[in-house]
Amino acid sequence: MPVKLGRVTLPEGFLNMRSFGIGLGAMAIAPFRRVRPYLGWGVSMLVNRVTSPVSGPANLVTENEGVRLDTTSLGVGFEVPVVVRVELPKNKFLFIEFRPVWNWFSYVSGDLFQKELDTYRLDMVQVTAGFGFGLPDL
């Protein structure tokens, strides 16, 4: 029978996740002079490292001791950047970028009879605004 999470006290730093991704993307740029909207997509491969002071959620619920979780796995990501760039005089520009990102990864946790496959989807939204300068259009 499943145990409700509210009945389990999670230890400090129960799950620590770190991801490194490398990807490929494409952008379509509207051919306007002053305000240039961009729309794109991107895919990435992620290397994820997950650590925990316990073996996994199943071991924590059943209060069985085990080897600390320390695993590395591969995952995938997808993003859809939307950018608006406003051209200024003397090859300068302002921009704002809105980038929703979805990352999927899984790993095996637990030990002995408590092994389980934990699957995650990490959703993020990145917003960047800035000022830049570049070479003149040829």
Tens-binned pLDDT, residue by residue, of the chain (138 aa): 455 556 667 777 778 889 899 999 999 999 898 999 999 999 999 999 988 877 766 666 666 666 778 889 999 999 999 999 999 998 899 999 999 999 998 888 776 666 778 888 989 999 999 999 987 654
Least Cα distance to 131 among 91, 90, 98, 95 occurs for: 95
Q: The pTM is what?
A: 0.71
- Domains of the chain, by residue range, sit at 5-133
CA 55-58-60 angle, 5° bins: 65
